[in-house]
Amino acid sequence: MVEKSLPVFGYKEDILQAVKNNAVTVITAETGAGKSTQVPQFLLEEGYQVVVTQSRRLAARTVAERVAEEVGCELGGVIGYRTGFERCDSAETQVLFCTDGLQLVREITGSGRAQVLVIDEVHEWNINIETLVAWTRKRIAEGWPVKVVLMSATLEADRLAKYYGENVPVIEVPGRLFPVEEKQDYSDNLVANIKKLVGEGRNILVFQPGKKEIAGTCDELAGCGAIVLPLHGELEPAEQRLCFKRYNQPKVVVATNVAQTSVTIPDIDAVVDSGIERRVELADGIEGLYLKPISQADCAQRKGRAGRTKEGVYILCGDSMSGRPAFPKAEIERSRLDQTVLRLVAVGIDATELQFFHQPDREVLVDAKKTLFALGAMTADGQVTKIGRMMARLPLSVQFARMIVEAERLGVVDDVITIAAVLEISTLRDRTENWRDLTSETESDLLAELDIWNAGKGKKGEELREMGIFGKSYWRAKELRGKLRDALLGHVKVFTSTGNRQDILKACVTGMVDHLFHSQGYGEYRNGGNGTRQKGRESVVSGSPEWVVGLPKDIQFKDRRGRFCTLNLVSMLTKVDPAWLVDVAPQLVQIEEGLSPYFDGEQDACFSTTKTHFNGQMVKEKKLSTPEHEQAAEVFVGWLAQKMTI
């Protein structure tokens, strides 16, 4: 049932009236107002069929669980959820929570089951939200009957309302927060602050930028007198639920920004904030993970988590509040957009003609089209191909999706699905390097991962650990692999694999043709005119093969002195025979013939040079006899004249 004590309840009639009378409604609600759980219930009571998007799988599931509990129904009945990989809904579902991917939302709303689409946590402005907002704006202008509600905690509400048109109502709901004392700690000493708060008997939420930092903090807090729990999107649901339980001693939850807005831990009364996040940034067309200070708006969100149930305290470490940007930089302004461009063109929309709320540089969109052309997903004039449509169905990066499409042609789907699943979650290999006993591969990290996967089949956690396999990654890859098979049902005829290792590699190379690297010696590689990258130490590829494909990545970290350092790496290497490239991506091959003609007296023939370029890089140069060359007579006369002067 609706929670009448929450601030948003006082605005119930205003919200319902706005939705009834308008195509678009904007709701801003401070932390603690109850917008995510209550607004869907308002709409349910009014008889609407509702779809609510969340930016994370964890949030889609946990918010659905909470609403089902309040409504008093089994999850999967009146209240359900669906993500790209799992679903818990039925024919009787009236409120469906889902992740915010365009393809999933189009599928649901296109089925006629939605009368209201609620896009929650708009302020996060990830690429999916950005695409959804632009797409709904276009659909509404075309007369779309589905009403749209945009909800956010902190938002440029008036600007967003004007983006959709004139007279879009904005409803501002105050939060219900207890006073939160704000402190600044320039020493950057999270653990000391946490231990002090544990001594005061507080339940503490700690924000760290990623899994590595979370694990390190949890280790440092061992024996501190509190229940210490990690929280991030890669944990199993049962592990995540431990964070929401109440305990008879202080609780410390060390989390990524998933705990900033997407989920609420109700008994928190202290927040210790690292003040940084690890986010994707685009540099020279390569996505890297960089440590960046969070914005003032992010700080306000995190601070609000400390005052939900009683007075709290917020400790910000690192840079001062005044030195931070007011709002975070939108993801669409700092990321590759090839997957976004593909998903839009697959539904008939040219991304370069779509007006986004945060408009990306046209150059980035054009580069995305070039990548899709290189992968065979788009034609030169921007039309989606049959290959591209198949790729758009898969919940993977465009490179990994292309591998699977090619794998069907070569009869190695089963093995390539495994490799794609492993690549999507990073690697199966742990740091012990015991895994090296599981493969004899010396030319491809991808085949090494496949060998390791096969060696781990049927093994349990302890056995995997002894083998040098990271168990959690193995189970996640196994889950993803199963979901990829499900996504391919009805689209792929044969799932089995011949096991031919060369065909497996050809399929994988097809998905990585835009990442072709030339050896510079000593484990360094260059892709065209871009800078050099270092082969990762964990690679099984021996020596420095002349040509490889691999995944470029930049990783930023802090060294022991607190200085930021960046590693420019190329990982998941595979040795490439340039002859393959003509087969896997003929559209990228350019051949220059008849260059630098000359006459060879010993062979009594005219010769010239032929150069083969692949995606702008010269991969082959060969001198050939060309007696029919248009300059053959000229070079012969020149040779003869030179001989006569000697």
My answer on whether 316 and 217 are in the same domain is: yes
Q: Is the pLDDT of residue 181 over 80?
A: yes
My answer on whether 309 and 375 are in the same domain is: no
pLDDT tens digit sequence for 495-509: 889 999 999 999 999
My answer on whether 111 and 241 are in the same domain is: no
What percentage of the chain exceeds 70 in pLDDT? 96
Tell me whether residue 406 is in a domain: no
Q: Is the pLDDT of residue 1 over 60?
A: no
Tell me whether residue 610 is in a domain: yes
Pick the last residue of a domain from 543, 578, 613: 578
My answer on whether 368 and 223 are in the same domain is: no
Tell me whether residue 454 is in a domain: no
Tell me whether residue 499 is in a domain: no
- Do 467 and 459 touch, CB atoms closer than 8 A? yes
Residue whose C-alpha is closest to residue 437's, from 458, 471, 415, 466: 466
Rounded Cα–Cα distance for residues 52 and 100 (Å)? 9
Tell me whether residue 272 is in a domain: yes
Whether the pTM exceeds 0.85: the reply is no
| Beta bridge partners of residue 180, listed in sequence order | 312
My answer on whether 624 and 570 are in the same domain is: no
Q: Is the pLDDT of residue 196 over 80?
A: yes
Rounded Cα–Cα distance for residues 286 and 590 (Å)? 24
Rounded Cα–Cα distance for residues 40 and 60 (Å)? 13
Note the pLDDT of residue 271: 97
Note the pLDDT of residue 192: 94
pLDDT tens digit sequence for 19-41: 999 999 999 987 778 899 999 99
My answer on whether 236 and 106 are in the same domain is: no
Please compute the mean of the pLDDT values over residues 604-616 and round it to a whole number: 88
Tell me whether residue 494 is in a domain: no
My answer on whether 43 and 164 are in the same domain is: yes
The count of domains in the chain is 5
Residue whose C-alpha is closest to residue 522's, from 508, 543, 542, 506: 543
- Do 231 and 204 touch, CB atoms closer than 8 A? no
**Residue 448: pLDDT band by 50, 70, 90 thresholds?**
very high
Q: Count CB neighbours of 167 within 10 A.
A: 9
Residue whose C-alpha is closest to residue 601's, from 575, 570, 635, 634: 635
My answer on whether 640 and 603 are in the same domain is: yes
| Residue 365 lies in domain | 336-393
621 sits in which H/E element: strand 617-625
Tell me whether residue 509 is in a domain: no
Pick the last residue of a domain from 140, 173, 206: 173
Rounded Cα–Cα distance for residues 347 and 367 (Å)? 20
My answer on whether 318 and 230 are in the same domain is: yes
Residue 561 DSSP label: T
**Six-digit token pair at 168?**
């879009």
Note the pLDDT of residue 288: 72
Which is more confident, 133 or 584? 133
CATH code: domain of residue 263: 3.40.50.300
My answer on whether 157 and 187 are in the same domain is: no
My answer on whether 202 and 350 are in the same domain is: no
Residue whose C-alpha is closest to residue 639's, from 603, 615, 612: 603
Tell me whether residue 404 is in a domain: no
Please compute the mean of the pLDDT values over residues 238-262 and round it to a whole number: 88
Pick the last residue of a domain from 299, 328, 357: 328
My answer on whether 232 and 292 are in the same domain is: yes
pLDDT tens digit sequence for 34-68: 899 999 999 999 999 999 999 888 889 999 999 99
Rounded Cα–Cα distance for residues 211 and 272 (Å)? 17
pLDDT tens digit sequence for 540-557: 999 889 889 998 888 777
Note the pLDDT of residue 2: 62
Q: Which segment of 24-28, 150-154, 604-608 scores lowest on mean pLDDT?
A: 150-154
Q: Is the pLDDT of residue 176 over 70?
A: no
